Every structure is written in structure tokens, then in C-alpha cells.
Amino acid sequence: DDQHELTLFSTNDYLGLSNHPQVIASVAESVTRHGMGPRSSPLVAGHTEQQGLLSRELAELKGMEDAVIFSCGFAANTAVFSLFGQGEDVEVFSDELNHASIIDGLRLAGRSSKSKVSVYKHVDMEHLESLLQASSAARKIVVSDSLFSMDGDVAPMSQLLLLKQKYNFFLALDDAHASLVYSKQDFAGADLIVGTMSKAFGAHGGFVCSSQEFVDLLVNMARPLIYSTALPDPVIAAARASLRLSEDRPWIRAKLWNNVRLFEQTTGVPARSPIVPILLGEEERALRASKELLLLGFH
């Protein structure tokens, strides 16, 4: 028998909530009472009470007026940036290490309009400001990951907000890896936040939080929402249970950050967040290290 137990360091289930007893109980109750919920687009069949409650809770979590739920985070980012990035008078400024879903959304926007995309060096605010100064676009949008999914560093929010005040741009954040891992205050000041429930929430699905105006626009214009079936209600129940746990039991998040510090102290590898890149250089060396770690029980 080749099967053996592994300790996962590769999962995005940062708070370990996917298997929490209260999450499991909420899913079981939901599927018993409601089955999978409406199997249609929310714009066609409407949304359930659970979906409406989760939308309001997500908006409150991010300090926004409203929220809309998508089938996944990739769909949410694609919807936002393919829609908001359109127009001849628009220029979007994107961090060079932003998630692929942001890049794909901006590519779609560029195909349907004459909007411009300028890529700035990773978290380089001097480079970003030079691009903003040179821009003649009437509408400027700056987009960044909040917590970068590969490097594990964070967007320099204080500097971004100073630039926002100076150049009056619309600030959008992809908060996928930071939601429930960081506090609401850590990334306050954005105009729009995209998130996912498939990481620290331990569930599935994506969401967008913003003003009522922008959320209404997405509900009526975002193709990845209009032409996708709503998330199953048990998934919504799981996300709501995880959100309650994260708010009622702050020690769950504290344990995560204690583990980040413990990893750094034990290994000597700098750890700025739960995402800790270890660069080995050559591909063969990385594959060999991965194989050896598997034999030791680590993935």
C-alpha cells in the first residue's frame, strides 16, 4: 500500500475551517432543508434567503454598501475588469504580479474597447506615480492584489491611499488570499474589493463588494454572473458559518499568525504572511525537493 499520511502546506484553507464541525453541521442542515437550491442564474431565478444574507454579511465584512456573489473568484475578477476596464477615456494601472484572472479580465476589456492598460513594477509606488503623472485619461483605475498569491507580500496600502488622494483614481483590490486572514482595517480605503470563499472561508465561490451603484451594474451587466448558475445553498451555508466563526473566535486567526512566526523561527525562512515562497532556482531542483518532501510526509 503506497498510501501514507501527508501534512499539507500547499492548501489555501488558511484557518482550517473547511472541516470545522460547525461548518459541516451548517452544510448538512442546509442540504437537508433546501437540497442544492435553485439551479439557475440568480438574474433569472432570484437568490435564496441564505444568499441574500451572505451578500449583506460580506459587504459588512469589507465595509462596503453592497456585495454580489459569483461562482468563483476567477469569474468575479474577470467580470469586474472586463466591464470596468472598458472605454476610450479609461486607463488601468495594474501591478505586474497581479493574479491571472485580473490580467484576463483586462485583456477582454481591451478587445472590446480602446482602453489602455499600464503595468507598474511590483509594489513600486514611484513607478506607479510616474505612470499616473503621464496619463491623460479622464478615468483612472489602479488594481492590485492585497496579499500576493505567489510572493506572500502585501500591497503598500498607506502609499496607495496617498496616491489615490493625489490623483483621484478608483482603487480596486483582489483580496482573495487576505480575506479573514487580515482584519478589515488592514486594506480599508479601496473603492471595490474582490474576494473568494474558497480559501480562508474553507468553502467555495467569489464575491465583489463595492458601492450600490457598482454592484447593481455588475448584477445587470456582468456576463460571468448572468450566464452562470448560482452557488449551491449548502456552499453558501458553509461560507456563512466560517464567517461567523472567524468573527466570534478571533483566536482562530491568531493561531494562524502564531504558526507563521513558528515556521519562520523553526526553518529560518522569512515569513511575512501565510504564503511563504522558497525559491530553489532550477526546475529539476524544485521537483527533486518536492519528491523528497513527499517521502517525508509533507506536501
Neighbours of 225 (CB within 10 A): 23
Instruction: Indicate the pLDDT class of residue 42, thresholds 50, 70 and 90.
Output: confident
The string of pLDDT tens digits covering residues 167-202 is: 999 999 999 999 999 988 889 999 999 999 999 999
Query: Residue 96: is its pLDDT beyond 60?
Result: yes
Mean pLDDT of 61-90: 91
The string of pLDDT tens digits covering residues 148-175 is: 999 999 999 999 999 999 999 999 999 9
| Contacts of residue 111, Cβ cutoff 8 Å, sequence gap at least 6 | none
Mean pLDDT of 90-112: 89
C-alpha cell at 273: 504572511
Question: At 100, which amino acid appears?
Answer: A
Q: What is the pLDDT of residue 44?
A: 84
The string of pLDDT tens digits covering residues 109-151 is: 777 667 789 999 999 999 999 999 999 999 999 999 999 999 9
Share above pLDDT 70 across residues of the chain, in percent, rounded to a whole number? 99
Query: Phi and psi for 291 in degrees, rounded to 5?
Result: -65, -40
84 CB-side CA count, 13 A: 28
Q: Give the Cα separation of 21 and 261 in Å (integer).
A: 27
The string of pLDDT tens digits covering residues 243-285 is: 999 999 999 999 999 999 999 999 999 999 999 999 998 999 9
Query: Residue 108: is its pLDDT beyond 90?
Result: no
C-alpha cell at 250: 478571533
Mean pLDDT of 86-111: 89
Q: Give the Cα separation of 63 and 59 in Å (integer).
A: 6
What average pLDDT is seen over the chain?
Answer: 93
Whole-prediction pTM: 0.93
Neighbours of 161 (CB within 10 A): 14
HEC per residue, the chain? CCCCCCECCCCCCCCCHHHCHHHHHHHHHHHHHHCCCCCCCHHHHCCCHHHHHHHHHHHHHHCCCEEEEECCHHHHHHHHHHHHCCCCCEEEEEECCCCHHHHHHHHHHHHHCCCEEEEECCCCHHHHHHHHHHCCCCEEEEEEECECCCCCCECCHHHHHHHHHHHCCEEEEECCCCECCECHHHHCCCCEEEEECCCCCCCCCEEEEECHHHHHHHHHHCHHHHCCCCCCHHHHHHHHHHHHHHHHCCHHHHHHHHHHHHHHHHHCCCCCCCCCCCCCCCHHHHHHHHHHHHHCCEC
Q: What is the pLDDT of residue 123?
A: 97
Mean pLDDT of 207-220: 96
Q: What is the pLDDT of residue 110?
A: 73
Mean pLDDT of 81-86: 82
Q: What is the pLDDT of residue 112?
A: 67
Instruction: Indicate the pLDDT class of residue 1, thresholds 50, 70 and 90.
Output: low
Greater confidence, 61 or 87?
Answer: 61
